[in-house]
Amino acid sequence: MQLSIVSPVYHGEKMVEQLVERITNSVSAITPDYEIILVNDASPDNSWLKIKELCANNNRVKGINLSRNFGQHYAISAGLSLCSGEWIVVMDCDLQDRPEEIPHLYNKAQEGFDIVYARRVVRHDGFFKRMSSKIFHSVFDWLSGIKTDSSISNFGVYNKIVIDEYNKMGEVARSFDSLIKYLGFNTATVDVKHDSRGEGKSSYTLKKLLSLSFDVMISNTNKPLKMAIGFGFFMSFISFCLAVFNVIAKYVGNIGVEGYTSTVFSIWFVGGILLMMLGILGLYVGKIFDQVKQRPIFVIREKLNF
């Protein structure tokens, strides 16, 4: 197989048919040897029924139905575990990633690159999504020391060597783009057009975005733990200075009610700091707990045309 196109599907009932048609028109000029893998992430609409219909009419279309909703990055992993192409395209199903850009990405890859990312010159997302993306990338860059680009997402072309190495990574906290960046390889970008969403709105709520952000950061950097240690030393220094101040104030007679203010302040302040540090440590311990259980990162209920 020369080319595999993997797309996670959620609330995609009204878009997958157009997606398949546009992909077919775009990649036919590259090679007749391709497959389109649609991964239904337990979408609450009739996405799976539509995928089954497409699979019945076209054996190049392959369907994967997950047992429950695992999330976008886990659905991508499910598709990548079964793809067989020498080159793999990963793209969303909402038609914001334009299938017509695939030949441009593929041609760039033929220049000797293992990964070619699509860089969205002008994003057609809502204000909240654009701002949350910029904030996330800024905080992640600061914590991890890795420079990322908010205009680059999952859409791109990847060599089979890259995907094979990605499939070996067993992290439970799954983020496709951060794991791919960890692998390295020869990388290039191509500026592409970015369309508005075909139907409906993004399923990424604020809660989901925050959850994904914590997962990515905790999985890729231990800087919060180092910051907690540094803050602990800083608080020790402040406490020492406060103790010296109280001793001096005692002897110069500037303390009215002895002990009350400093005691209450110390209890509340230090207690809050300890709870914050325990919370940071607890997040890391929780991820270790999830990892050592060694549960599968996705469960496939049904496969079509494989």
Q: Where are the domains of the chain?
A: 3-221+295-304, 223-292
Q: Tell me, what's the pLDDT at 157?
A: 95
Q: Report d(CA 125, CA 148) in Å as an integer.
A: 19
Q: Quick one: tokens of 25?
A: 């028109």
Asked whether 80 and 166 are in contact (CB, 8 A), the reply is yes
pLDDT of residue 3: 94
pLDDT at 133: 64
Looking at residue 140, what is its pLDDT? 64
Residues with Cβ within 8 Å of 93's Cβ and at least 6 positions away in sequence, in order, are 7, 8, 9, 10, 12, 15, 16, 19, 38
Q: Residue 261, SS3?
A: helix
Q: Please, are residues 39 and 71 in contact by the beta-carbon 8 Å criterion? A: no
Torsion of CA 147, 153, 157, 162, to 10 degrees: 50
- Please say whether the beta carbons of 72 and 41 come within 8 A: yes
Classify 290 as helix, strand or coil: helix
Phi, psi angles (nearest 5°) of residue 60:
-80, -20
Query: Which residue ranges in the chain fall short of pLDDT 70?
Result: 122-151, 195-222, 250, 253-266, 268, 272
Residue 195 DSSP symbol: P
> Does the predicted model carry a pTM greater than 0.85?
no
Fold of 3-221+295-304: Spore Coat Polysaccharide Biosynthesis Protein SpsA; Chain A (3.90.550)
